[in-house]
Structure 1
Amino acid sequence: MSQTPEQNHSQQEDNIPLQHDAEHERPPRNKQQSVLIYLVILFAAAFLLMALSYFMQRRTSDATIEGLRGQSVSAMQSVEDIQEENETLKQQVADLEEQLEEAQRELDGLQTLTENLTVMQEQLTKAMDLFWQIDEAYVRGRYSLCRTLIAQMEDTTQGSALKESLPRESTTDTDRFSPADRYQEIYDAVM
């Protein structure tokens, strides 16, 4: 059965209020409550997830902070150890510098002593040389030469007289005079 266009239009006009009523009709109360409960559950789940995320983040942050504190303490201990080692090394350097200065003073003293011994040896050599010439001149009876040589031995223009360098002890096992005693004997005889 086919409907005429007028009937079709009339049916459409009849459907308009029904459609309008269906669109504006309130959903049943049961449906509203279930949607509301669903929304509350969603918000609660979202809140729980956010709280869980917050606590996990906090735990991670606390662990990171503890790790950093541990590293900081370890670094501080390392710095303190390095500072102590540095102080120890500075003290060792100071001790070594002091030992070096002491060794340098000893070396300077030894050099001075060596120089003095060299001068004394030279004076002893000159004095003994002159002494043997005086003794030889005295034994041969050449008293004027002996006096001239004694004058050289007594000369103090270069510091002390050479006679002061003559040994005071005999180096032989004979009961003879030491060079200083023999010189004095000759000196007393000719002067």
Structure 2
Amino acid sequence: MSKPDSDKQERGQLQHEAEHEKPDKRNPVLFYLMILFAAAFLLLLMSFLMQRRANQEAINNLQETSNSASQSLQNTIEQNEELSKQVADLEQAFSENQQTIRDQENQLEDLEEQVADLTKSSQAMDWFWQINEAYVRGRYSQARSLIQEMGEELPEYLPRESVTDNDRFSPYDRYQEIYDALY
């Protein structure tokens, strides 16, 4: 046999062995696919964990906001109740002040009536003094004219009791005595 035949035969055998030989190494494509799946899985896991942490923070923030709003609402309710109580107290104080004002106005009216009565009583006493003086001096016509000028209203304001304990007439009784004597 010649050498070229033996080369051919050798090459054929090598090729046959290479085709039927099982590689000892794993297929590199499968290895790369496994690495890619593992990387994708790790990225998905990291994304999930990050999303979970972000959601937890958002939930915590919402809970804090809710707690803060709840506390703010509670504070507002307490302030509202306190203000309502203050309003009620002020309304009661206002009502009491209004009653005090009405009482003082009534007292003022009573005092004004007393002042008017005392003024009229003072005027009546002045007229009485002049009438009594004219009567005692015997000036009866002057006494009559003074009685007419005095009018019918003022004699009612003369004191009906004597302040002196001398068993004499009160100014009103003395006026009636003079009036009866002259008319």
TM-score, normalisation: structure 2: 0.73
- Alignment counterpart, residue 157 of structure 2, candidates 139, 147, 165: 165
Instruction: Name the CA shift for 1:30/1:141 in 2 (closer, same or farther; >3 Å).
Output: same
Give the structure 2 partner of residue 66 of structure 1.
Answer: 63
Give the structure 1 partner of residue 49 of structure 2.
Answer: 52
Give the structure 2 partner of residue 145 of structure 1.
Answer: 142
Q: Distance in 2 between matches of 1:61 and 1:174?
A: 105
Q: Which amino acid aligns with 2:73?
A: M
95-104 vs 120-129, greater mean Cα deviation: 95-104
What does the per-residue CA deviation read over 1:84-134, in whole Å, with 9 as the maximum and x for residues that have no partner? 233334334433443444344334334433332232222111111111222
Q: Distance in 1 between matches of 2:91 and 2:24?
A: 97
Q: In the alignment, is residue 177 of structure 1 matched against residue 162 of structure 2? A: no
Query: How much does 1:63 deviate?
Result: 0.6
176-185 vs 28-37, greater mean Cα deviation: 28-37
Q: Distance in 1 between matches of 2:61 and 2:173?
A: 98
Q: Distance in 1 between matches of 2:92 and 2:38?
A: 80
Give the structure 1 partner of residue 13 of structure 2.
Answer: none
Instruction: Name the CA shift for 1:27/1:138 in 2 (closer, same or farther; >3 Å).
Output: farther
Q: Which amino acid aligns with 1:129?
A: D
Tell me, which stretches of 5 or more residues in structure 2 are unaligned? Answer: 1-22
Q: Distance in 1 between matches of 2:24 and 2:140?
A: 163
- Alignment counterpart, residue 122 of structure 1, candidates 119, 133, 140: 119
Q: Distance in 1 between matches of 2:130 and 2:65?
A: 95
Q: Distance in 2 between matches of 1:84 and 1:173?
A: 68
> Aligned runs of 1:80-91 on 2, under 5 Å?
80-91=77-88
125-134 vs 65-74, greater mean Cα deviation: 125-134
Instruction: Name the CA shift for 1:108/1:74 in 2 (closer, same or farther; >3 Å).
Output: same
Q: Which amino acid aligns with 1:44?
A: F
Tell me, which stretches of 5 or more residues in structure 1 are unaligned? Answer: 1-25
SS at match of 1:50: helix
SS at match of 1:29: coil
Calculate percent identity across the aligned residue pairs: 34
Q: Distance in 2 between matches of 1:101 and 1:115?
A: 20
Q: Which amino acid aligns with 2:40?
A: F
Q: Which amino acid aligns with 1:185?
A: E
Q: Which amino acid aligns with 1:47?
A: L
